[in-house]
Each structure stands twice: as C-alpha cells, then as structure tokens.
C-alpha cells in the first residue's frame, strides 16, 4: 500500500493527508530507502521528457543549450518559451501548424492572462509540451521519418523513446498509454524512474545523456518557467536534473548519481515538492538552498494560516 507522506495543517488542525510512494537510490542505482510501493508500475507522465529528449539526441537531434532544455520541458508558455518552440520548428523547415500536441492555453497564469488579453485562445504551441513535440518533429526531419504520424506508438521515434527509457531505467516497459499531449506513455517502476534520473545526471561528458543533463541544469527556466519549483530546484542544486510530472510524479537526479522519485497517490501536485525535498534531506543532501520549494502554504482569506508538512515516515531515519 501507499504510505502517508504529507499532511495538510490548517492552524493546529490536521485537515487533509496525502499518501504516496517514494524511493531514493545511490550512485549504483541501489535502493537507499523506499516508502510505499516503489517497485509498482507508474506512468512517469512529464517526468519522462528528459528520456524522450535523450532518444532524440541519440537519433541525431541537433539541439543544445536552452532549446534542448525546452525539448525536456513542461514550460509555462512565457514569450521566450514560445519563441524557442518556433526556433526549433523553423530549424527543421516546419511551422507551428505541424504540431500535433493538444491545443491549450499557457500553463503559467501570467502567460495565460496575456494570451487571453490579446484576444488569443487555445493553440498547440501554447501547450506545455510543445517544445517536446517540436523537437520530435525536428528529429523526424533529421532522419527522414514521416512527420504526419509521429505520435503513433510504432513510429521509429516512439520506439526509440521507449528504448531509451528502458535503457536508463534498467527494466522493460510494463504498460503503454497515451499522455495528455497525445504522445505514447510508457510505465516503469518508481525505482526505475529514480535509476534513470541518477544515470542521466551522472553521465560522462561527451555522451548524449550528458548533453541532456547539462542543458536542463544550465537552463532550468526553459524546463519550467518563472517561479516554478522545478526551476528553483535545479537553480539551487547545481548539476541536478529534475522534472515534474502530472498525477503527482517527480524525479530528480544528482551529479553523484543518486536520485529520488516520488508518486503522490491521489495525483495532487501540491504535495510533490514537500515530499521530494524531505526525501532529499533524508538522503543526506543539503537542501538549504531549496527550502523555499518545500514551503507550501495553506491560505485563509488570502493569508497564510497553515502549511503542508512531510509526514513522519519522510523525516525518520
């Protein structure tokens, strides 16, 4: 069973709880501690994006720096993100009309407001996955693969993405689904997700893995956006590679190859950073620089009246 991992306190009253599973691994990929069901299958959701990007780099995608980070992103839809998506597409001779991700408004509140205030609406390029989709299309063009069906699970691009995930996780995919953006989604264990993040973060220089990790850690605002906890985690922990995912998933790899993966059972995003930072602290990581990430207030009439706290199992040795 999942275990109690976070508590929601309103004043001195325990209002709600979150159950979940957590796992930490060392540089050899061996479990240091586990909570709940870390060996059960989980859809990584957008926490899988770094490994999809790895597959693209292995297949010849010619991106680095902020644009490669954008390929790994669940971006907020800020102007620089949208401009970056267009740059990736233009480099492949494509436009936003070639994107097949779901039409949406920007993920970021301010970016969403700006689009609506300008008379805009939902569009594929505003979706948080559009950087990944633009990079997928660019990878298809580089290999002469068809672009009209790049989201099919048996397309060479998606077969490569599956192989890259299995390679770094050290285990086979256990189930296949469709992600919110329309791309194939592959289930692995939470332990496998942690191993994959550790191997990515500690990859030797000159490897495709290192290219992806370096792009993310050096350009964290392109992976998330202004004020996003995933951005602040990578800023505060130099060399770390972190990626949030829908339905309460989070993964982070550290430069020494250790890593943590989190799954909140009810799918809530609010408990993810609290539990992740608690797990890093339990792993022995100095989290002083990212303490604010774990500060999730409970509000009453717009004023802080409580907070989310890690449960006892997350702070006990």
Whole-number pLDDT of residue 316? 83
Whole-number pLDDT of residue 58? 98
Which residues make beta-bridge pairs with 299? Answer: 304
List the one residue out of 310, 254, 316 whose CA is nearest residue 278.
Answer: 310
* CA 171/CA 206 separation, integer angstroms: 25
Q: Give the SS3 label for residue 90.
A: helix
Structural domain containing residue 198: 3-315
pTM of this structure:
0.98
Whole-number pLDDT of residue 93? 98
List, for residues 279-310, the tens digit of each pLDDT value. 999 999 999 999 999 999 999 999 999 999 99
304: domain CATH number? 3.40.710
Which residues make beta-bridge pairs with 297? Answer: 307
Residue 230 buriedness (CB in 10 A; 0-12 / 13-18 / 19+): buried
| Positions in the chain short of pLDDT 50 | none
Whole-number pLDDT of residue 317? 65
Whole-number pLDDT of residue 189? 98
Give yes or no for a contact between 94 and 172, defined as CB atoms under 8 angstroms apart: no
Whole-number pLDDT of residue 1? 87
Q: Provide the domain count of the chain.
A: 1
* CA 194/CA 259 separation, integer angstroms: 5
């Amino acid at each position: 069973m999942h275990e109690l991992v976070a508590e929601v306190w309103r004043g001195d009253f325990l209002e709600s709880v979150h159950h979940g599973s957590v796992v930490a691994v060392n540089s050899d990929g061996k479990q240091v501690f586990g909570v709940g069901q870390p060996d059960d299958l989980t859809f990584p959701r957008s926490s899988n994006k770094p490994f999809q990007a790895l597959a693209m780099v292995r297949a010849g995608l010619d991106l680095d720096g902020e644009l490669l980070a954008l390929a790994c992103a669940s971006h907020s839809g800020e102007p620089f993100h949208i401009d970056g998506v267009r740059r990736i597409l233009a480099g492949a001779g494509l436009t936003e009309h070639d994107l097949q991700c779901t039409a949406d408004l920007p993920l970021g509140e301010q970016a969403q407001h700006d689009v609506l205030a300008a008379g805009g609406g939902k569009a594929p390029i505003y979706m948080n996955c559009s950087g990944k989709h633009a990079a997928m299309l660019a990878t298809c063009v580089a290999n002469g693969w068809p672009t009209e069906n790049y989201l099919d699970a048996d397309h060479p691009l998606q077969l490569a993405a599956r192989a890259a995930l299995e390679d770094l996780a050290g285990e086979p995919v256990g189930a296949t689904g469709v992600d919110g953006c329309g791309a194939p989604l592959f289930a692995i264990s939470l332990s496998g997700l942690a191993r994959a993040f550790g191997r990515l973060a500690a990859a030797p220089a000159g490897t495709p893995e290192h290219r992806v990790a370096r792009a993310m850690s050096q350009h964290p605002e392109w992976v998330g956006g202004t004020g996003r906890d995933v951005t602040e985690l990578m800023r505060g922990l130099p060399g770390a590679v972190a990626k949030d995912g829908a339905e309460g998933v989070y993964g982070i790899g550290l430069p020494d190859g250790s890593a943590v993966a989190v799954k909140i059972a009810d799918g809530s995003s609010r408990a993810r950073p609290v539990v992740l930072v608690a797990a890093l602290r339990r792993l022995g990581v100095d989290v002083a620089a990212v303490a604010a990430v774990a500060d999730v207030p409970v509000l009453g009439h717009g004023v802080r009246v409580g907070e989310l706290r890690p449960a006892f199992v997350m702070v006990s040795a």
